[in-house]
Amino acid sequence: MELAESLNKTHDELRQGEAFTPISSTPKSSKKFYIESYGCAMNFSDSEVVASILNSEGFGATTNFEEADLVLVNTCSIREKAEQTIRKRLTEFRKAKKSHPGMLIGVLGCMAERLKAKLLEEEKLVDLVIGPDAYRTLPSLIKEAEGGQKGVNVLLSRDETYGDISPIRLNTNGITAFVSITRGCNNMCSFCVVPFTRGRERSRDSQSIIAEVEALVNDGYKEITLLGQNVDSYYWVDEKNGAQTTFAQLLEKVALINPNLWVRFSTSHPKDITDDVLHTMAKYDNICKCIHLPVQSGSTRVLQLMNRTYTREWYLAKINSIRSILPNCSITSDVISGFCTETEEDHQETLSIMEFSNYDMSYMYFYSERPGTLAAKRYVDDIPLEVKKRRLQEIVDMQGILSSRSNQNDIGKTFKVLIESTSRKGDADWQGRTGQNKITVFPKANKGFNPGDYVWVKIENCTRATLLGNIVDGPTQ
């Protein structure tokens, strides 16, 4: 779930890029809040739920934390660098509080449970600590903190999905939006903290998902991304009539809402993605042909240590199914270098599975032991840092070759592109993405188009990260 501008960046740089998600102030509000979000798309989606809860309590947003009555940081614990960045920001906010004594500072999300004692008592950086399943209790926790008490709720839930809360879209372009369909994770990958910070997996009821998407369409949105730690394991049973909804069925229901709505999803797990999902994607033109299928390692031995519950051969079979059913589908991935006991042979198997899968893009990073994970308890982090970095560089180099090859193969082809914004490189160009999720830049050329319009673009050139083209009247290949 998460886009990059440069395909040779590491995972940390990709996920920590634009952390600030402001929305405009509400003039009628007597109190102001400021929120920053770090990490995955799910965190940004959660911040939109928090904004809705705060808005109902009379808080309006501000883009200036120094004038806020409430400053919140939605945190990420996936990587050590993320935690370091967040601590630095909390220190800056604490300094600002000296000139604004009534200000409350709170931590939301994945760091809440693991570091609540340090943040509250030892370092005294925050007044509030709220876990991912406790956002509904924010109003009462704020009142406790205003009265001088520390507001804390990090309890995890087996039921909470926030399905009845209409998110306030943060820093929205009015074109693309996230819609959460599951929360938590049951996979227990040994390197991952998510099951411990977000709890067990539960699916949101399909009716509330459809209602949220319909509302977005009515508001003019042109693209939605269905979010979950593992979207393919989505499963909902209607208590009223016993009707069951799988992810393939949900995907179809969303696609049928409006043929002009582009539908994306993230993330898929290799053990759970089914041919039913692939055939549904093939059936509907408005389901974008891009699958994020994290491999993590190309070695079956390492995959077993990671508790990924699939083998190299299983993963390769999934790649073959995608290529067979969806020949024009792009495939992206996550790759870890230097996991515990990884050998040079294991590393070479990762490089070879990348080449076989021919990824269009990958999120790449070296292994960083996270406290509380199964790997931290069971294994020794025994690969030297310089070896991890060297292997990561080889992975990055391989992805650079694959990304360049993929983009070069698109030269001369014509793609439907959703215009998202003016290009960051210059006001004369538009920027958008293809159905394969490739960033595309092309001249405005005074043709009367606007953000939110679909256009046909013929690709004339490319960089490793971006397709370059010109608007044409329609498909030419």
CA separation for the pair 350, 352 (Å, rounded): 5
Contact partners, residue 382, CB within 8 Å, separation at least 6: 340, 341
Contact 371, 115 (CB under 8 A): no
Question: Hey, is 18 helix, strand or coil?
Answer: coil
CATH annotation of 11-153: 3.40.50.12160
Q: Quick check: 287 and 328 in contact, CB under 8 A?
A: no
Is 227 buried (19+), middle (13-18) or exposed (0-12) by CB count in 10 A?
buried
Q: What residues are paired with 32 via a beta bridge?
A: 60
Q: What does R_g of the chain's alpha carbons equal in angstroms? A: 22
Amino acid at 240: K
DSSP symbols for 260-277: TSEEEEE---TTT--HHH
Task: Judge whether 36 and 222 are in contact, CB under 8 Å.
Answer: no
Per residue of the chain (477 residues), what is the pLDDT tens digit?
332 223 333 333 333 433 444 444 444 557 999 999 887 888 888 889 999 999 999 998 888 899 999 999 988 776 777 778 888 898 899 888 888 888 999 999 888 777 777 777 766 888 999 888 889 999 999 999 888 888 888 888 888 788 888 888 876 788 999 999 999 899 999 999 888 888 889 999 999 999 999 999 999 999 999 999 999 999 999 888 889 999 999 999 999 999 999 999 999 999 999 999 999 999 999 999 999 999 999 999 999 999 999 999 999 999 999 999 999 999 999 999 999 999 999 999 999 999 999 999 999 999 999 888 999 999 999 999 999 999 999 999 999 999 999 999 999 999 999 999 999 888 999 999 999 999 999 999 877 899 999 999 999 999 999 999 999 988 865
This prediction has a pTM of 0.87
Instruction: Return the domain boundaries, the chain.
Output: 11-153, 414-472
Question: What dihedral angle (degrees, nearest 10) is formed by the CA atoms of 427, 429, 435, 439?
Answer: -70
Short-list 433, 456, 40, 442, CA closest to 262: 433
CATH architecture of 414-472: Beta Barrel (2.40)
